[in-house]
Amino acid sequence: MSAANLLDFDLEGLAVFCEQLGEKRFRATQLFRWIHQKGATRFDQMSDLAKSLRGKLQGVASIEALKVISEHVSSDGTIKWLFDVGDGNAIESVFIPEDDRATLCISSQAGCAVGCRFCSTGHQGFSRNLSTGEIIAQLWFAEHLLRQRFGRTDRIISNVVMMGMGEPLQNYAALVPALRIMLDDHGYGLSRRRVTVSTSGVVPMIERLQKDCPVALAVSLHAPNDGLRDELVPLNRKYPIDELLQACSEYLTAAPRDFITFEYCMLDGVNDTDVHARQLIDLVRGRISCKINLIPFNPFPQSGLHRSGMDRVQAFGRLLQDAGIVTTVRKTRGDDIDAACGQLAGEVQDRTQAHKRMTRQPISVPVVVETTARPRPSSSN
């Protein structure tokens, strides 16, 4: 029997695991803190855990870090890691430091089945769902590596966005325990407002997330009408815009924020005209509390699409703002380290398929951080 990866368990799951070992449930809290707050990788580091429990854990449990393929550091401080998840698959995580926050963008699947036209990951197709452990290992790795690198003992990552590779709501069973670990005060202690799930619009799962673990919600809209959205986000054929907006309105009744973020990737001549802007206004105004985030497209060769000019993006944004809709234009970050999300991983897949060897750059992995400091409480936005 293979050892259980303890990164797979939220606190309740770990309590059940401890009970199965004949231990008291409260041992799980100690164990959980060692793993997530202190970045422990070995049981003999867990000094306040009973020796007998440490002995039991040796044989039946492990803490499985992801294998790092590469790290790219941008001149603006953005860091992108590429992780090997086996069978020639790679996933990406991106750390984005800003003045008032530090965000980690996390992947939920290797590849993606949704196949959005403007998305490099979508073009690679779907390989497999990540486990809870593989999702949370991205946060575990980044948080403890950066603490070590920056010589800090307090929490570094203040926000998590599930906007990396994959459609998180198509990996629901693994996603929800990972979210619970992020939110748990004994884990990463992030506020619900600072954890965002981004979806292309899996309507039934939006409804479930509202009940199971409401966090901030972002929706990849990208088009103001069903005809165009069918082309850009194929999932729209199953869950059209009207149903999606209905689910979003319902979600807001339990959400930690009082608006939904709609992501809108600006594609030259495709969805960026004044007509599209007016359709978008008619779609959302008076119907749903929202913020529109205009995203410059990151071109990649197979897409056949082009980035809208900045003048066009500004003009589009002005129309929305003049209509009273809160609109932001996403800054591009880490431009000097690569282009679109999913491209690095796509290159790994291509190389693997060509039976070429992956280039591994050594990188230090988290070790136990000797501190008893509790994470800094989140301040709300």
Nearer CB in complex with ligand SF4: 34/239: 239
Helices marked H in the chain — which ranges? Answer: 11-20, 26-32, 51-60, 120-124, 132-150, 172-183, 203-212, 226-232, 241-251, 274-284, 310-322, 343-353
Residue 346 makes contact with ligand SF4 by CB under 6 A? no
Q: How far is CA 230 from CA 164, 269, 355, 367, in A?
A: 22, 17, 36, 47
Q: Does 114 bind ligand SF4 (CB under 6 A)?
A: yes
- Which is closer to ligand SF4, CB of 119 or CB of 176? 119
Residue 134: name the closest of 189, 66, 73 by CA: 66
263 is a contact residue toward ligand SF4 (CB under 6 A)? no
Q: Is residue 201 a contact point for ligand SF4 (CB under 6 A)?
A: no
Determine contact, residues 169/182, Cβ cutoff 8 Å.
no
What token pair was written down for 4? 């259980």
Told to check if 115 binds ligand SF4 by CB under 6 A, we report: yes
Q: Does 119 bind ligand SF4 (CB under 6 A)?
A: yes
Mark the segment that binds ligand SF4 (CB under 6 A) among 72-80, 147-155, 163-171, 359-367: 163-171
Tokens for 198? 């981004």
Question: Does position 308 bind ligand SF4 by CB under 6 A?
Answer: no
In the complex with ligand SF4, the residue whose CB is nearer, 188 or 251, is 251
Cβ of residue 336: shortest distance to ligand SF4, in angstroms? 23
Looking at residue 233, its amino acid is V
The answer to whether 89 contacts ligand SF4 (rule: CB under 6 A) is: no
Q: In sequence order, which ranges of 252-301 are alpha helices (DSSP H)?
A: 274-284
Enumerate the β-bridge partners of residue 266. 296
User: Smallest distance, Å, CB 95 to ligand SF4?
Assistant: 19
Examine residue 121 and tell whether it contacts ligand SF4 (CB under 6 A): yes
Burial of 127 (0-12, 13-18, 19+ CB in 10 A): buried
| Backbone φ, ψ for residue 240 (5° rounding) | -65, 170
Whether 92 is catalytic: yes
Q: Is 166 in the site for ligand SF4 (CB under 6 A)?
A: yes
Nearest CB to ligand SF4, comparing residues 38 and 333 = 333
Q: Is 18 a catalytic residue?
A: no
Interaction mask 221-260, ligand SF4, x per CB under 6 A = ----------------------------------------
Q: Both tokens of residue 242?
A: 């009207």
The residue number whose beta carbon is nearest to ligand SF4 equals: 122
Could you give the CA distance from residue 295 to residue 31 in angstroms, rounded to a whole number? 41
**Catalytically annotated residue among 92, 143, 167, 263:** 92
62 binds ligand SF4 (CB under 6 A): no
Burial 326-360 (b: 16+ CB within 10 A, else e): ebebeeebbeebbebbbbbbbebbeebeeeeeeee
- Binding test (CB under 6 A) with ligand SF4, winner from 200, 271, 327, 378: 200
Q: Which is nearer to ligand SF4, 167 or 338 (CB)?
A: 167
Number of residues that bind ligand SF4 (CB under 6 A): 12
Q: What is the DSSP letter of 198?
A: E
Question: Of 14-22, 65-73, 82-90, 164-172, which part binds ligand SF4 (CB under 6 A)?
Answer: 164-172
Task: By CB under 6 A, name the one of 110, 116, 142, 176 that touches ligand SF4.
Answer: 116
What DSSP assignment string belongs to 82-123?
EEE-STT-EEEEEEEE-SS-EEEE---EEE-SS--TT-HHHH
From residue 4 to residue 23, the character string flagging contacts with ligand SF4 as x (rule: CB under 6 A) and all else as - is --------------------
Question: What CA–CA distance (Å, rounded) separates 157 from 195?
Answer: 11
| In the complex, least distance from residue 215 CB atom to ligand SF4, rounded to whole angstroms | 17
**Piece of the chain touching ligand SF4 by CB under 6 A; list 7-15, 68-76, 159-167, 346-354:** 159-167
Cβ–Cβ < 8 Å for 358, 349: no
The catalytic residues are 92, 341
**Contacting residues toward ligand SF4, per CB under 6 A:** 112, 114-116, 119, 121-122, 165-167, 200, 220
